Amino acid sequence: MTSREAVLGILSDRKPRASRELIEITKMSEKTIENVLRRLWEEEILLRTDKAIHKFSRNFKGRSGMRQNMRNFHLYVLNPDGLDTYSYQGVSFVKFDAKYLDVRGGMGGVSKAKVILNFLKDNREKAFYTTEIVDALKDRGVKPSDVITNIRRYEKKGLVYLRGYKTGENETPFQNGFIVTYLDGNIIRDDSIREAVKRTDQILLGTMTRSPIIERIQRVRDIVISYTQLKEIVSHEFLLNKLGCSKSELDYAIKRTMQLYSDIKMVKLFDFYAHFYHESFDEKELHASIELRKNYLRKTGGSKSRVGHNWEAAVSFFIDQYTDAEFMTQTHRNQKMDNRRITIHLVKPVASRRHNAEVDRCWSITPSILSKPITYCLEAKYGVVMKKHVDDFLNILKNSKEFGYDTEKGREIKAGVIPVFAGGTFNPNEKIFLEEGPIDLFTYAQRMNVQLLRASDLNKILAEKGINIKECSVHKICKVAKNEREVKEILLNVLNDPKNALKTLRKVSETNNEIYEFEKMLEEPNSDF
């Protein structure tokens, strides 16, 4: 069966269909189906919508969050009666006419793709960053997404030369984007490529380091020197996040940096946390910077921080085990961060958060095939929870691009999105005063459509499995576990073997004794190592 026969066979039921639907049914290529539809329309065997249909779709794009995209397409319907126009459920279909040709396909006008290619062709003696092309053509409606999409297509056709920064097996954009230049087809191909490489070399002006290892070394040195000027020492973790490389790559870069540049120095705080500085650092200012950093590490590296993260993991474990939750995930530069922690984008600042905020967990549950999915957003806080903590969480969701929307009264949380606040203890003494009188924090949260999840709620599940809560509660598991992964392992073990829950907890506690001792030293205000 030919592609033409296949398309006509599907459309014989007189139902309008888009090219994408025909591609899925026939398993033929997009180009084949588009060509068949175009020919059949020109032959007036098919009618096509006079205007493109616009359809919005909402998709979760990992670290980028929830993205809303618009898809433009046409519908086609069989025309056995030789009609000029046809209406189906309010949609108008027409026979072929040049006036209905649209620029999106490069028909009836100059498309953005053609505008970009003509710009490069007219400036064939130059090379440009993709951002420069956007700036030059923005008055003609060209957007950043238009440039790189079409440049990639022209690269496959051999019409342009695209150059980025080579890292191992991949190629990434430079700071100002990829560099692109036109490949002249009027000269020998090899010569055309050589000329293109020369033009891209000229635009780089010798600023690009060809070896990723050497560039990494240079960046380590630059970062350390710049922060020395700001009177700050630089941590290993900061360099890892700044460079976006693996730990082994950074370790090698630091080793080579200190071999090549003897003026880069290292100091280990508490004989454990490596920090770097330039020898030009004034001794008194260096000592002050070290003390400030020690205080920071006491707060973030102590038991409170560890137990707080463990509490998040415990809540996540119970949600995962006892619901049909489908968690959203993101890949983070910091490889230690749980990929279930979600970064959302803010339309306006909330407290100290200017552009982004983190949500501990986001997941969806579909109650039935006839119901729309419900999205839950979790904030977990170990310790005493107060009204300001709940309000802060609500403001983050309201002012997020992903979960909030504008109303006449201001920002509100979208329907179908339910905030969940998991706290170790909710302040029983805090009163919220309303017109009808004071209410407690729990009642206030319910009125704000916030679901409160308490440690006692999770302990009930353990108790139902026959576990003695006085000996092995969620609080105690969070305190003894060294990290989030171990929390989940402990919970799984005690639920599978409730009789030996206390034995499991004691074994973990003995194994992690060095961690507890180290945290105790960190928390001593006058400790000096």
Q: Are residues 191 and 162 in the same domain?
A: yes
pLDDT for 166: 62
Q: Are residues 262 and 307 in the same domain?
A: no
In a domain, 191, yes or no: yes
**DSSP codes of every residue in 355-384:** SEEEESEEEEE-SSTTS--EEEEEEEEEEE
The tokens for 137 are: 């053509």
Give the CATH number of the domain where residue 148 resides: 1.10.10.10
Q: Are residues 370 and 509 in the same domain?
A: yes
pLDDT tens for 60-72 read 666 555 666 667 7
Q: Pick from 272, 300, 328: which residue ends a domain?
A: 300
In a domain, 526, yes or no: no
Sign of CA dihedral 126, 132, 138, 143: positive
Do residues 147 and 133 touch, judged by C-beta distance below 8 A?
yes
pLDDT tens for 136-182 read 998 888 888 889 889 988 988 889 999 887 654 567 787 788 899 99
pLDDT for 298: 63
Q: Are residues 69 and 149 in the same domain?
A: no
Mean pLDDT of the chain: 83
DSSP character for 315?
H
Apex 449 CA angle, 447 and 453, nearest 5: 105
The tokens for 445 are: 């949260």
Q: Pick from 105, 138, 169: which residue ends a domain?
A: 105
Do residues 264 and 278 touch, judged by C-beta distance below 8 A?
yes
In a domain, 490, yes or no: yes
pLDDT for 88: 85
In a domain, 525, yes or no: no
Residue 311: partners with Cβ closer than 8 Å, 6 or more residues away: 380, 381, 382, 422, 424, 474, 478
Residue 85 has pLDDT above 80, yes or no: yes
pLDDT tens for 417-431 read 999 998 877 777 888
Do residues 377 and 325 touch, judged by C-beta distance below 8 A?
no
Pick the closest to residue 521 from 266, 233, 232, 272 (CA basis): 272
What residue numbers bound the domain in which 229 lies?
212-300
In a domain, 450, yes or no: yes
Q: Are residues 314 and 398 in the same domain?
A: yes
Q: Are residues 45 and 152 in the same domain?
A: no
Do residues 408 and 297 touch, judged by C-beta distance below 8 A?
no
Q: Are residues 98 and 182 in the same domain?
A: no
pLDDT tens for 220-231 read 988 898 888 888
Q: Are residues 125 and 90 in the same domain?
A: no
- Selected residue with higher pLDDT from 521 and 113: 113
Q: Are residues 234 and 278 in the same domain?
A: yes
Do residues 26 and 33 touch, judged by C-beta distance below 8 A?
yes
pLDDT for 405: 92
Pick the closest to residue 382 from 453, 301, 311 (CA basis): 311
Give the CATH number of the domain where residue 216 resides: 1.10.10
Q: Are residues 388 and 441 in the same domain?
A: yes
Q: How far apart are CA 432 and CA 390, in angstroms?
A: 12
Mean pLDDT, residues 14-34 taken together: 90
Lowest mean pLDDT among 312-321, 336-345, 359-368: 336-345
Q: Pick from 78, 105, 132: which residue ends a domain?
A: 105
Bridge partners (DSSP) of residue 374 are: 365
Q: Are residues 411 and 425 in the same domain?
A: yes
Q: How far apart are CA 256 and CA 265, in angstroms?
A: 13
pLDDT for 59: 65
pLDDT tens for 219-267 read 898 889 888 888 899 998 889 888 878 888 899 999 988 887 888 999 9
Mean pLDDT, residues 473-499 taken together: 89
Confidence grade of residue 521 (pLDDT, cut at 50, 70, 90): low
Q: Are residues 296 and 309 in the same domain?
A: no
Do residues 337 and 375 touch, judged by C-beta distance below 8 A?
no
The tokens for 373 are: 């999915």
This prediction has a pTM of 0.45
CA 393 to chain centroid: 20
In a domain, 43, yes or no: yes
Q: Into how many domains does the chain fold?
A: 4
